[in-house]
Amino acid sequence: MHSAIGLRWLLVRRCRALVSGTARAASTAAPSGRRRLPADGPGLAEFVAGSAAPAAPPPEGAELPVPLGATELEHGLGRRVLFVVHGCQMNVNDTEVAWAVLQQAGYQRAENISEADVVFIMTCSIREGAETKIWNKLENYKRLKASKGYTGSQFKVGVLGCMAERLRQRLVEADVGVDLVAGPDSYRHLPRLLAQPEDAGAAVHVQLSLEETYADVQPVRLDPHAPAAYVTIMRGCDNMCTYCIVPFTRGRERSRPLDSVVEEVRRLSEQGVREVTLLGQNVNSYRDMSGSRNSAKATRLAAGFSTVYRPKTGGTRFADLLSAVADVDPEMRVRFTSPHPKDFPDEVLRVIAERPNVCSCLHLPAQSGSSRVLADMRRGYTREAYLELVRHVRRMVPGVALTSDFIAGFCGETEADFEETLSLMREVGYQYCFLFAYSRREKTRAHHRLVDDVPPAEKQRRVAEMARLYRAMAQQLNTRQVGSTQLVLLERPSPRSPDSLLGRNDANVKVIVPRRWAGAPLAAGQYVAVEVTGASSEVLHGRPLERTTLQEFARQHDPPSAPNELLGDDPEASQCVV
C-alpha cells in the first residue's frame, strides 16, 4: 500500500538490526510451522517431562526462519497496525513486544480500524467465554472486509496469543477471514509472516520455545505516558493445574536473565515510569539459569506445598531479582503478578517487608477452600497449608493486603466444598478477588479424567454468592481505612469525574482525589499523601495532604497498620454473609 522507493538506506539499516534481532530465534531453529503443523499441539508429556528437556527437533520438512530481508521490511514501511488486546497483563506486555518487532520493520500504529492495514487481536483461551468474544470479533472483521471489498494484501487480520496457540490451523479453517496466526513465542516472525504473498494462504507460526523470553526485544509501550509499566520476567508454566489451559498455550517455564530485567527497569525509570509490575504466569517461580549470578540455591517451597514437577535447583531466584529491581530506583514502586502460593519462601517475604518500594500487596490465588477440590485441581496444597501460609505472610509482612482467584463449580464440587470456599474467603479477608465459573478446557487433565458435573446455572449462583461475600468484606476493609493517611501514586483522570484523578495506594486499591489541590493541578506520576475520607467496596476517596516522595513518606509513616487482618474472630465478619 505504501511505496518504499528512495528508502534503500533505511531498509538496509533496519535489515541489519533485524538480522541481529532474529539471530537467536534462528539459532534455536524454531520451524515456521506454516505447512507442517503438529495437528494437536503439545501434550502433557512435553510439559511435565522435566525442565531440562531438549528442544524438540523441527518437524520434518518444516521451514526454518530466515533473517528478514529487504522484501519484508519494504512490506512494512508505512503500513498501519491496530492492536486489540484481550486477556491478562502478559498479553498487554506481549503486545508491546510484538509492536517493538513490527515498528523495527517499518510498521506504524493505527488508532482505529478505519486507518488500519492490519489488525492484530491478542487473544486469551482461559475460559470458553474469552474465546467466544474473539470469534465474534473475527466475524465482525470478516464482514468489514467483505463490505469494503478488501483483498488479503489490503487488510490483514492476525490472531496472536493463547487462542492462536491453542486452535492453530482451526482458526484458518473456520473461514472467518484470518490471514495470520502467531502464538506467544512467535512474535519475532511477524514481519516475515505479514510479508508472505497472498496466494500462499494464511501464515501460521505456533511453535512453542523452551528458551524464548524476548530478553533482547525492548518493548514499545502502548501508552508511553502512563506512569506504570509491565516487565515480563518469565514465561510459561510447569504446574499443570488440572483445569488450566495456560501450560498448553504458553509452554514450559523459562526465565529471562536478571541483568536484562534490571536493564529494562532502569530504562523505564529514566523515562519517568514510577511503577513496574513484574509479570509471569508463575512470576515467583522465577529462576535465571543463565549463569552470570548462579547462586545454586535449592528450591525452598512454602511449608506444606508441593509441585507436580521434579524439584528444580540452581539459578538466581525471585527474591534476588525482586531485590535487584527494588534497588534500581527507590522512587519506583514494584509489584508482581501472578504468583503461585507455593513459591513464597521467607527470602521473598523479607524483601517485601523490608523494601518500602516493594508494595505490601500479595496475590495468593487459592482457587478453592476445600482440600478435596484442591487435590483434584492438583494445586499442591491443602486448605490448612494455605491458611498457614496466610498467617505466616501476615506475621512477616504486617498490614499486607491479600488478593485471590477462585473457581466455582469445578468438577465434583459439592455444596459442602463450596461452603468451605466461602469460609476460607471469610477467614482470610481479601482486598480483591477474581471469581470465575469453571470452564472445561480441551487437553487438560480435568477434561480427560474428571466430570464437569456442576450445572452452568449452579456455577453462576456460586460465583454470585462469592461476589456478594467478597464485596461485603472489601467494603469492611476499605471502611476501616477511613481517616488513615496513605501514599497514592496518581495515574490518570478519573473516568467518572473530570474534576478528579485516579491513583492507587500501596495495596493497589483505587483512590480518587480532586484534580486541583492547593491552587494548582495535580498530575499523573506524582506521589501524594492522602487522607482517606470515604470508601466503597471498590474505591477509596481521599483528600490530598501534601505532594511527597516514596522515600519521604516511608520515613514519616509506619508501614500500614494491618488494615487487612484475618476476619475469622471478628464479630463483624458474620455480617459479610449476605
Contacts with ligand F3S, residue ranges (CB under 6 A)? 87-88, 90-91, 124-126, 161-162, 245-246, 249-250, 281
Distances (CA, A) of 75 to 106, 155, 349, 578: 8, 13, 50, 59
Give which of 424, 238, 232 is closest to 325, Cα–Cα. 232
**Nearest 5°: CA angle at 112, between 107 and 113?**
85
d(CA 440, CA 450): 10
Cβ proximity to ligand F3S, 124 vs 576, nearer residue: 124
Cβ proximity to ligand F3S, 162 vs 387, nearer residue: 162
Please state the separation of Cα 168 from the chain's center in Å.
22
The answer to whether 454 contacts ligand SF4 (rule: CB under 6 A) is no
Burial category of 323 from C-beta neighbours within 10 Å (exposed 0-12, middle 13-18, buried 19 and up): middle
Cβ proximity to ligand SF4, 137 vs 254, nearer residue: 254
Q: At which residue does the C-alpha cell 538490526 appear?
A: 17
Cβ proximity to ligand SAH, 72 vs 131, nearer residue: 131
Distances (CA, A) of 492 to 137, 265, 496, 513: 28, 21, 11, 11
Number of residues that bind ligand SAH (CB under 6 A): 17
Which of positions 103-132 make contact with ligand SF4 (CB under 6 A)? none
d(CA 430, CA 394): 12
> Between 435 and 454, how does the x/- string for binding to ligand SAH read (CB under 6 A)?
-x-xx-x-------------
d(CA 423, CA 36): 51
Q: Minimal distance in Å, beta carbon 84 to ligand F3S?
A: 13
Question: Crossing angle, helix 415-428 and helix 456-479, to 10 degrees?
Answer: 10
The answer to whether 240 contacts ligand SF4 (rule: CB under 6 A) is yes
User: What does the DSSP 8-state code read for residue 577?
Assistant: -
Q: Minimal distance in Å, beta carbon 180 to ligand SAH?
A: 25
Kind plus residue range of the DSSP H or E element containing 92: helix 89-104
Cβ proximity to ligand SF4, 107 vs 336, nearer residue: 336
Q: How many residues does the chain have?
A: 578
Which of positions 265-294 make contact with ligand SF4 (CB under 6 A)? 281-282
Cβ proximity to ligand SF4, 11 vs 362, nearer residue: 362
Using the rule CB under 6 A, give the single segment among 68-76, 101-109, 197-205, 242-250 that binds ligand SF4: 242-250
Cβ proximity to ligand F3S, 245 vs 393, nearer residue: 245
Rg (CA), the chain: 24
* Residue of 239, 255, 439, 494 that binds ligand SF4 (CB under 6 A): 239
The answer to whether 357 contacts ligand SF4 (rule: CB under 6 A) is no
Contact 103, 220 (CB under 8 A): yes
CB count within 10 Å of CB 87 equals: 20
The answer to whether 213 contacts ligand SF4 (rule: CB under 6 A) is no
Cβ proximity to ligand F3S, 122 vs 353, nearer residue: 122
162 binds, among ligand SF4, ligand SAH, ligand F3S, none (CB under 5 to 8 A by kind): ligand F3S
The answer to whether 244 contacts ligand SAH (rule: CB under 6 A) is yes
**Strands laid side by side in the 275-279 sheet:** 228-232, 275-279, 333-337
Q: Minimal distance in Å, beta carbon 226 to ligand F3S?
A: 20
d(CA 172, CA 191): 19
Using the rule CB under 6 A, give the single segment among 174-182, 202-210, 235-243, 409-417 that binds ligand SF4: 235-243
| The pairing of beta strand 485-493 with beta strand 500-504 | antiparallel
> The C-alpha cell of 144 is what?
468489514
Q: At which residue does the C-alpha cell 482517606 appear?
A: 532
- The percent of the chain in helix, strand and coil, each rounded to the nearest 5, is 35, 20, 45
Cβ proximity to ligand F3S, 127 vs 468, nearer residue: 127
Using the rule CB under 6 A, give the single segment among 242-250, 294-302, 491-499, 524-532 that binds ligand SAH: 242-250
Cβ proximity to ligand SF4, 240 vs 576, nearer residue: 240
* Residue of 207, 249, 338, 368 that binds ligand SAH (CB under 6 A): 338
438 binds, among ligand SAH, ligand SF4, ligand F3S, none (CB under 5 to 8 A by kind): ligand SAH
- Residue numbers at the binding site for ligand SF4 (CB under 6 A): 237, 239-241, 244, 246-247, 281-282, 340
- Residue numbers at the binding site for ligand SAH (CB under 6 A): 126-127, 243-244, 246, 281-282, 338, 340, 365, 367, 405, 407, 436, 438-439, 441
